[in-house]
Amino acid sequence: MKISSETLNILKSYTSINPSIWVQPGTVIKTISPQKTIVATAEVDDVFDSSFGIYDLNQLLSVITLFEDPDFVFDDKSVLIKNKSSSVEYFYTDKEMITIPPAKDIQLPDKVIDFKLPVDIIKSTMQAANVLQLPEWSVLGQDGNIKILVSDTKNSTGNVYNAVVGKTDENFNIIFKVENLKFMYNDYNVSISSKGISHFMTDDGKIQYWIATESR
């Protein structure tokens, strides 16, 4: 079989969440962080016929770059990556070596807020977090606006970056660790629960993330 560049890009993004992955049969690829603070799912065009585990996903993706338009032959214990003149047999790892995401999608309890998060806001706030070395990314409801704040709540005189993303009649302040925001750059529909969990989903529903919020 072939694996599309879109699927490979999703797998590449998953390496920042978990260096390992367990792939189930079908068209949905899932991962979960070792701390279980991030769960991600993606519906892809490629169909995987069997389950298999990869311990070092980044290494496998690097091996794939050695080939131009390779074919993949998935066996019981390994995957053969090949073209007309070369091949690599890459062996799977045991399921017990990998943190496995839940089989069913997480149901979000007690939603506090829903809003649309444009990709340009994601890019600008994440760049600000990197440039200013700020550890927290907050969704703030204040003065009729929904704002994204990038800050350090432990430093009362620290720098703060903010961007308005919508309107609200509610007051709230929901804090995320920047280190948990490992999503791909897309426009998202965001829902946040009062129970410490949030949901980010693309308009077509194919890419989803569930990310823990902080308890403050």
Sheet containing 71-74, strands listed edge to edge, beginning at the edge strand earlier in sequence: 71-74, 78-82, 87-91
The Cα-based distances of 172 to 90, 155, 169, 175, 196 in angstroms read: 49, 20, 10, 10, 13
Q: Do 5-97 and 111-212 agree at the fold level?
A: yes
Residue carrying structure tokens 């920042």: 16
pTM: 0.94
Full pLDDT tens readout for the chain, 216 residues = 999 999 999 999 999 999 999 999 999 999 999 999 999 999 999 999 999 999 999 999 999 999 999 999 999 999 999 999 999 999 999 999 999 999 898 998 888 899 999 999 999 999 999 999 999 999 999 999 999 999 999 998 899 999 999 999 999 999 999 999 999 999 999 999 989 999 999 999 999 999 999 965
Which tokens go with 173?
A: 């302040």
Contact 137, 181 (CB under 8 A): yes
The correct CATH number of 5-97 out of 3.20.20.70, 1.10.3720.10, 2.40.50.100, 3.70.10.10 is 3.70.10.10
Distance of CA 2 to the CA centre of its chain: 23
Domain boundaries, the chain: 5-97, 111-212
Q: Domain 111-212 is of which CATH architecture?
A: Box (3.70)
Smallest Cα–Cα separation from 137: which of 127, 18, 189, 110?
127
